[in-house]
Amino acid sequence: MKALPSLTTALLIAASPLALGEDWARFRGPEGSGVAAANTSVPTDLSKANTRWEIALNGDGHSSPVVFGDKLFYTVTPTEAQEHREVVCAQVSDGKELWRSRFGFNKYKLHRFNNPSSTSPTVDAERVYVWWNNGKESEVFALDHSGKEVWKQELGKFESAHGGGSSVALADGVLIVQKENLSEDSFIVGLDAKTGKEQWKRKVPAKLKTPYVTPVIRQTDSNKEAIFVSTDNGFFSIDTNTGKDRWTFDCKFEHRVVASPVVSGNSILAYCGGGAGGKDSIVIEAAPGATEAKERYRLRKTLPYVPTGLGIADRWFLVNDGGIGTCYDVASGDQLWRERLVRKCFASLIAVGAHIYVFGIDGDYHIYEAADTFKSIAKGELRAGIHATPIVAGDSLIVRTDEKLLCFQKGTDA
C-alpha cells in the first residue's frame, strides 16, 4: 500500500491551517479543517496505558471541547439540574477543574438525538464564546478566562423542531453567528469579539429547513472569507470583515444540511440528507477570493448526512452515518475505496498527519491511513457512546464520550 505522495509535507504546508503547537480553538480546529499537522506523539493506541486523565461529565452534551494554551473549555447540561447549562474550564495538563459557570434556560423542543449542550464554543487568548438557545431567545456571550461574563447579546427567537447545532467561528476579531432558522428574523451576524457590538448582518431567509452548519474560514489575498451552505440559501461566501457576499451558488438541495463544508484546494464539498442518511452532494470550484463559483460534479454513493469529512492532499475522506468510510479523488470524483469503519457515526472525522480518526455512536473507533488504498492502523472500543467530534491538544487526543472526557497521550497511565 502506497500512501498519498508527500502527504505529511502537504498537511504541514497546505492542507492544514493548524501548525504544530497551535490551539484547537473552535469546532474542528482552526478554520474548521479538522486537520492537525503531523505529530507522532498523538497516540493511536487508546488504551489505559495511554490515558492521561478522565473527567466525569455528570451530564449531557454533544459539543466539542476547545483549547487555548493549557485551558480546556466545554459545555454540559448537568444531570442533577436539567434546567441549567454550564461552561466549564479545566487544565489540559492534568484535567483539574478551574471553574464552571451556570446558566438557566427554559426547555424547548429538541430532536431525540439532540440536547441543549450541542453547540461548541470557540476561544481566543482573552475570551471564550458560546451561542445557544435559552428557550425564549438565542443568546451569544463571552466569558473571560476566569469565567466572568464580558458581554452578552440576545439575538431573537431560533425556531427549529430539532433545536440548536451550529457553532460560532472567529475570524480576525469578528465572531460569526449563523442564526439561520425558520423565524422571520433569520440572519448571519458578525460581532466585535471584544464588545459584542454588531459589525455587520446578512439576512438569510429560511422557509424549508434549518441548517446546522458551522462555517469554514479561508484566507484570501486581502483578508478572510466564511463559507456556508444551507437548503434554502445554497452555497455562499461572506467577507468576514464586511459581511458582503463574495459569491453565491444555488446547489438546489431539497434536504437538510447538517455537516460543514469540506475544502480541498479550490474545491469545496457539501452534502445534505435526512433520517435515513445522505441524499445529495455537490462539489463546486471557487478559489480563495473568487467572485463566482461553478459546479464540478456530484457524489452519489454512500453519502454522509451528519459527520463532516476531510479534504486532504487532493482526496475526500468521508464516513456516512452508517459507519461506512470512503475515499474519493477530488479531481475526478472517482471512488478509490469503501470500507466499514464503525457501526454508526455522528462525530466528524479529524486527522493528525497521515492518520484519520473516526468515532462511533456505540463507542467504537477506527484509526486508518489517509491513502489511496485502505490501511487500518488501530481500532477498539471506549465503552461509552460518542456523539461529539474529538480534538487535538498539543500531543494529546481528547475524546468526549457520553460519560467522560478522556485525554490520551503516549506513555501515560492515569
Spatial distance between the Cα atoms of 222 and 62, rounded to a whole number of angstroms: 35
Residue environment code for 324-342, b if the CB has 16+ CB neighbours within 10 A, otherwise e: bbbbbebeebebbeebebb
399 found inside a domain: yes
pLDDT digit string, tens, across residues 94-145: 999 999 999 988 776 766 776 877 899 999 999 999 998 876 789 999 999 9
32 found inside a domain: yes
Range of the domain at 272: 7-408
H/E run at residue 332:
none
409 and 395 Cβ atoms separated by less than 8 Å: yes
Helices then strands, counting H and E runs in the chain, come out as 1, 34
pLDDT digit string, tens, across residues 233-260: 999 999 999 999 999 999 999 999 999 9
Spatial distance between the Cα atoms of 78 and 264, rounded to a whole number of angstroms: 39
2 found inside a domain: no
Tally the domains of the chain: 1
Torsion sign (Cα): 101, 118, 230, 332: positive
304 found inside a domain: yes
169 found inside a domain: yes
Read off the CATH number of the domain in which 215 is found.
2.130.10.10
Task: Look at residue 28 in the predicted model and tell me its pLDDT.
Answer: 96
Task: Look at residue 145 in the predicted model and tell me its pLDDT.
Answer: 98
413 found inside a domain: no
Write down the pTM of the prediction: 0.93
1 found inside a domain: no
pLDDT digit string, tens, across residues 279-338: 999 999 999 999 999 999 999 999 999 999 999 999 999 999 999 999 999 999 999 999
13 found inside a domain: yes
Chain mean pLDDT for the chain: 91
Spatial distance between the Cα atoms of 54 and 94, rounded to a whole number of angstroms: 9
